[in-house]
A and B are shown apart, each in its own frame.
Chain A
Amino acid sequence: MIARPKISRLLLAVSLLTLLWVAGVPRTEAAELILAKGTDVSSFDPGINPTLDAQQVTAMIYDTLIGRDDKMQLKPALAVSWRALEPTVWQIKLRRGVKFHNGEPFDARSVKFTLERLSTPGDKAGGHVLYSSFSGIERVDAVDDLTVNIKTKRSDPILPARLAQTFGAQMIPAEYTKKAGFPGLAKTPIGTGPYKLVSWQKDDRAVFEANRDYWGGAPSMDKVVWRIIPDDLARVSALMAGEVHVIVRVPPDQVEPISKRPGLAVQRSVANVMNAFIIGGIARGQGPLSDKRVRQAVAYAIDQKSIIDNLFRGLAVPIGQGSASTDFGYNPDIKPYPYDPAKAKALLAQAGYKGEPIALRSASGYISNDVQIVAAAAEMLNKVGINAKAEVVDIQTRLEMIKNANVQGLVLANPQGTNFDVDGVLWRLLGPGGILAVHWQGSDPEHEFYKLMDEARYSMDPKKRQANYYRAAEIFAEELPWIPLFQDLATYGVSTKVKGFVPRSDWLVLPQRLGF
């Protein structure tokens, strides 16, 4: 006869063993600056994961040649100065005495190596995804150790802005990367930045220690931890419980509870992300929206303020043009369309609108409150007599629709620039090759809008560029190739224990400036 242990004892033993095993997990230490955000970086190679959440981390390890101050104006970083020698040559003077974390000197070779990589298609250069930003570079010449000449295929006034983009324009070490390869750099990142990566547990935490030799001065916080907390309420709870000092992205309904709690504050800044309804088929005369009076009627019928107050608790700014207020070339004189249902009805009557259906589409969860925005807007359009219907499509369908220029009706989108220049959003989407270019006659080379934008893209005169963009914004506001809604706010929940925090439009936290 086989001896059988009692089932109940067996189960008990297994449970106890499980508990003993998990009790052995080490405890975390305190006394460090702890920051939290929703999604983790996917790689420490700055060229391959250019997302808002990733750049907050990569910007700690690596530096760009040119930086941005808190007002998003260009300022020296690894480059001390830059000027156009001729329309197609930019000369960059580099900072002396900067070293990478491994001691490798930062010099013209590092710049040449990084920019040659970024101006080569990604599949031939370690899989980076920034070719379109840097494909205009023809050649990079090291004049001496601290001087680099960048020759562009055509004149490129935006090159300094491109070099400042934290979406992957960070300088990487040539010698180290040649030896370790791009995967090696991704695994053990070496930059010139204020912090060095100590450890990374993906989707849990990344731990950094201060680079005492940082060229910008040693950071005051020796240790910084980025925690990844995907759930909005869990992130807010961690802040309220005092487990983290700063959280990125405060859900609108949590702004008040955080602000009311002693020792906490919500800091905000206007962000370079817009929300808008994009429109398809205008040039091809498809549907009622190909008549600009109908588009204007839509703009008059949507009560932006009501959407912002009710869905975003006031945490957004109405916008009336195709670029964000943080961009070079934004026209401050253009106001958003006022909410005016009567005017909307009159315009619809003039246009002879006969109740043709107009779908308002969005994905769910892709943009903050997307389903609610579309539902509210459809209701507002119905009120003025537009036969509008809200439809939720999956993210992929939405992306395909926009990518294949097969937009029907209105699609909720959030155009976002990477270089704080009108060119980066407006002309990227409506210019040659842009995904919305086929939709609107302003994208035809004979159109005034096209001429203004094309000239501004290549003009080396900032005043001329600004004047062109101001006029282009007027045309946009009259023609409405898409319906601008509002601009997001970048929100941060911050413990008052933290000193030196400045909310930035580019979502960077810059822990090197923070202290207790």
Chain B
Amino acid sequence: MRRPLQLLAHLLVVTLGAVSLVFVALRITGDPALMIAPPNATEDDLAAIRRDLGLDRPPLVQYLDFLRKVTRGDLGESLRYRRPALELISERAAATLELAGAAQGLALLVAIPLGVLAAVRRSTWIDTLVTMLATAGQSIPYFWLGLMGMVLFGVQLGWLPTSGRGSLSHLILPAVTLSSYSLASLTRLVRSSVVEVTRADYVRTARAKGLGGGVVLFKHTLKNALIPVVTLLGLQVGGLLSGAVIVETVFAWPGIGRLTVEAIHTRDYPLVQAGVLIMALLFVVLNRAVDVGYRWLDPRLRAADA
């Protein structure tokens, strides 16, 4: 029972902290009425907009009202769209999950074999090439990689759609772009982890027993070498969500990241608050899930808990 309660407390502290911070930050940096009003609006128009949106009330009253509503699952109504913020976000959640899921899946599918290959063939040209590519993947910014991919595969070669969401082919460029960083860091981690495990006593013992190279690699080396990979996956959730903001904008991908960024530009308080709340929740829950999975996979941690 201890862990679920702990998780709940963790959730509460992180989300309340994040949302309160956003609540204050938004209010000291701008007035949404100015963003909503047409170019010829007068001060009376602005006052009417503020009254209409309840922004003429003292900030503390707005904050308490906001918290009260959150406890009932009401994240408020978007100022620009005049629709419930939660509804807007849930409409977009599938797009972001699709993109982030595909990116992470791709990263895993490519990084593990690539990392293992580099480790097994370490100090050869293959290792050098993989390490170089991984370093490049970690240093190239998403927007640049995305635009280059778009120009090459979309405009010059005409193989893939340049932007938007629709068929599987629409997903390829954004997913590859978003996967670049985690693919690169996973590859490097798998490589170093496999290299390290290969030097471990039990691997030497396995070899000494006369086991074949394949059995040693998959049964003894890889299994143990992948444990840190699971930890890294958890850490990458935050990176994926922030990367999605950029990739979604470049590729006109209608996800939560882009929605939140636009909401920030237009000072759409409830929508930003709801976006941050959902992302914070997602971050905590996924991190915890990885944590739990990690304990489940690594007997040493379970033993430590007992």
Contacts and interface: CB of A to CB of B under 8 A. Distances in A.
Interface of A: 4, 6-8, 11-12, 14-16, 18-19, 21-23, 25-28, 39, 42-43, 48-51, 121-123, 127, 129-133, 167-168, 183, 186, 201-205, 227-231, 233-234, 237-238, 240-243, 394-396, 399-400, 403, 415-418, 424, 428, 433
Which 9 A-B pairs have CB atoms at the shortest separation, nearest pair first? A123-B52, A15-B105, A18-B105, A396-B30, A204-B254, A27-B167, A50-B38, A229-B252, A237-B162
A233 B147 contact: yes
Interface string B43-66: 111001101100000000000000
Nearest to B161: A243
A193 to B, nearest CB: 20
Contacts of A131: 44-45, 48
B49 A205 contact: no
B12 interface: no
B40 A241 contact: no
Interface of B: 29-31, 34, 36-45, 48-49, 51-52, 80-83, 88, 91-92, 98, 101-102, 104-106, 108-109, 112, 147, 150-151, 154-155, 158, 161-168, 170-171, 218, 222-223, 226-227, 229-230, 249-252, 254, 258-259, 262, 267, 296-297
A168 B40 CA distance: 12
Nearest to A24: B168
A11 B226 contact: yes
Contacts of B250: 231, 234
Given A127-B52, A240-B155, A132 B42 contact: yes
B39 A418 contact: yes
A256 to B, nearest CB: 15
B226 A19 contact: no
A4 B219 CA distance: 13
B186 to A, nearest CB: 10
Contact of B38 (A12, A130, A394, A403): A130
- Main SS of the interface on chain B? helix
Contacts of A167: 38
B243 to A, nearest CB: 15
Contacts of A183: 82-83
Nearest to B103: A18
Contacts of A233: 147, 150-151
Nearest to A5: B297
Nearest to B164: A227
Contact of A25 (B81, B91, B166): B166
A121 B48 contact: yes
14 contacts: A11-B112, A11-B226, A25-B171, A43-B82, A48-B82, A51-B38, A121-B44, A202-B92, A228-B252, A230-B252, A234-B147, A234-B163, A396-B34, A417-B39
A428 B163 CA distance: 41
A18 B102 contact: yes
B105 A122 contact: no
B88 to A, nearest CB: 7
A202 B162 CA distance: 19
A205 B258 CA distance: 14
A204 B96 CA distance: 13
Given A8-B112, A202-B88, A229-B252, A26 B101 contact: no
Given A133-B40, A234-B252, A394 B29 contact: yes
Contacts of B222: 8
Contact of A123 (B37, B51, B83): B51
Given A7-B297, A132-B42, 8 more contacts: A7-B227, A22-B98, A25-B98, A28-B166, A129-B41, A204-B254, A395-B30, A396-B29
B82 A127 contact: yes
A311 B42 CA distance: 33
A428 B151 CA distance: 44
Contacts of B162: 234, 237-238, 241, 243
A492 to B, nearest CB: 18
A27 B164 CA distance: 12
A18 B168 contact: no
Nearest to A27: B167
A7 B230 contact: yes
Of B51, B105, B297, which is in contact with the most chain A CB atoms at under 10 Å from its CB? B105
Contacts of A415: 39
A238 B105 contact: no
A11 B111 CA distance: 12
A477 B155 CA distance: 47
A39 to B, nearest CB: 8
Given A23-B168, A243-B161, A132 B45 contact: yes
B250 to A, nearest CB: 5
A395 B115 CA distance: 46
A126 B45 CA distance: 13
A418 B38 contact: yes
Contacts of A201: 254
Contacts of B51: 123
B48 A25 contact: no
A376 to B, nearest CB: 25
Contact of A26 (B112, B147, B167): B167
Contacts of A39: 262
A204 B52 CA distance: 29
Nearest to B299: A4
B113 to A, nearest CB: 10
A230 B296 CA distance: 43
Contacts of A129: 36-38, 41, 45, 49
Contacts of B223: 6-8
B108 A11 contact: yes
Given A168-B38, A234-B250, A15 B163 contact: no
Contacts of B40: 132-133, 417-418, 424, 428
Contact of B171 (A6, A11, A22): A22
Contacts of A122: 45, 48-49, 52
